[in-house]
Structure 1
Amino acid sequence: MLSVNGTNSHPSTFILIGIPGLEAAHIWISLPFCAMYIITMLGNFTILYIIKTERSLHQPMYYFFSMLAITDMILSTSVSPKMLAIFWFNLREIYFESCLIQLFFVHCFFSIESGVFLAMAIDRYVAICNPLRHTSILSNSVIIRIGLIILIRGVLSSVPFCFLVMRLSFCSNKMILFSYCAHGTVANLACADTLINAVYGLTVAFLVVGFDVTCIALSYVMILRVVFRLPSSERRLKAFSTCGSHICVILTFYMLALFTFLINSFGNNIPLHVQVIVANLYLLLPPTSNPIVYGVKVKKIKSKLLTMVCFNRRN
């Protein structure tokens, strides 16, 4: 219920516009987004199935692949169904509580995905720099602890976003000029001071993403130092091949996030529909590309996938 005098209140629903200015083309725009969601779900489910059924893949690196696949599926599912409902059926209304839940999942699983990338970088560092102790250092119990730490960090850093939105007062404007609820887009509708929201958002971004990116960069610097000292070119190529898939997905994830941040912060002259499309892609493109990259680059997953395809064709 809206408050007339501006005390703490919130509307029962918000209106998600989708992609402002391109409403007439929503049906056509929905096609690539639907395709990305299907590829995300099928690709990551296939990765999980292969890792679960192939005992030779029960190793630290593939456990982290599994964490990434689950995170990708949840992150994509948190935004894609509602987005497609807007594009296909013009179902733009979203309850305030549902908006908070979506907001929480978006920020939580973005943080978790960033943490998983850091864990994967540490795994590659141990595997290349200390290969004889790889499985003993990253034992199953250690991997479980790492996963729990990443999950707890994502939850603890995202819950305050919901409370910060709940404390705001909203006036008559209920139109969110995006395809999903995010902290910044919802807070911008408030008719109250949002300085705390902005400060907390930037603090989380710098502490979480900044910490992860710094540690990932340091890990790969140390990996490269070891790789260039390897005696044979064959071993160097093998090491580069092992890290290549990780570097591809990490760059895709963080470059899209950085590009989205820069556009939203300084892209006043960039059309709004371009900003929204980029913001959509930064959540949907990495979950789509990750299973494709790993399916092509990681030999054990690729060989198992080819075996499954050949077996199905014979039958």
Structure 2
Amino acid sequence: MNTPFLDTAKRVIRSEADALDTLADELDGRFREAVELLLNSKGRVIVTGIGKSGHIARKIAATMASTGTPAQFVHPAEASHGDLGMITSADVVLAISNSGEAPELANLVVYSRRFDIPLLGITSVASSSLGRECDVVLLLPKLGEACGTGVVPSISTTMTLALGDALAIALMEHRAFTPENFRDFHPGGKLGAQLSRVSDLMHSGADIPLVRLETPMSDALIEISQKSFGVVGVTDVAGDLVGIITDGDLRRHMDGLLSFLAKDVMTASPITIEPGALAEKAVAVMQARKITSLFVLDAEGSHKPLGLIRIHDCLRVGLG
């Protein structure tokens, strides 16, 4: 059943969605000019704004910084009290003001003009103080606000946020910024975990449990126990991985186990993975095969083991 609250929510969301459609339809060559201005910068994008525009500016700066475009938010009031020193002639200033008349931006705008620092603006009024001074101005359609009275920034901030995302992603695509690059800037949290590579989580070096084909099972059991992974890899005289011994293999050869060699007990041609694969792929393989670990081999065709990754390592960082 609809309620007045639900009606309000639907009206607000639909009005903002309609505004985004209008914004997309009205984008023109100035957007290309804005992207080129940002691409030509040898420094950072200095994003600034006051009030609600300031909150949106912080998010735009954060999105750019995490997608390959060095960016920093500078509070315009703090800029007037010394933080102008953060801005260099190599930077580009992205100033945001719906009205284009925020007095707090004045000193920063003047500073950019004085030192010939490129100025990109987002505003809804081309003839405003900000609009007139910009090298490139991106205009927001004048569509009012979702409150109906024009006093609560909502439609305007939603359009500004979307426009900032559009700039960041256009820059990202031009630079061929990959998910792996994103992970370098965003190693924490769920996104960082999803973009982890096998090489980030695998055990390597002396930690890898390995025995040779001719190793007696008594010694193989010691290796399994000492390395505590519940498995051991079996290598030939060249050091190539040719098999694996798991708990299942031990159970199948329990009768007379200590009389066997590793080659008699192992499962040949084990499932492996390359170090550059996403850890999520390793999880999918282990879950599909109902196994708990994978040996890691060089993707260039070598069969020498580089590491071992376990399902527990992936679960520890939030995968699975």
Q: Report the TM-score range of the alignment, normalised by the length of the smaller protein.
A: under 0.3
Query: Greater RCO between the two (CA within 8 Å, min separation 6)?
Result: 1
Higher relative helix content = 1
Higher relative strand content = 2
What's the TM-score, normalizing by structure 1?
0.22
Report the structure number with the largest CA radius of gyration. Answer: 2
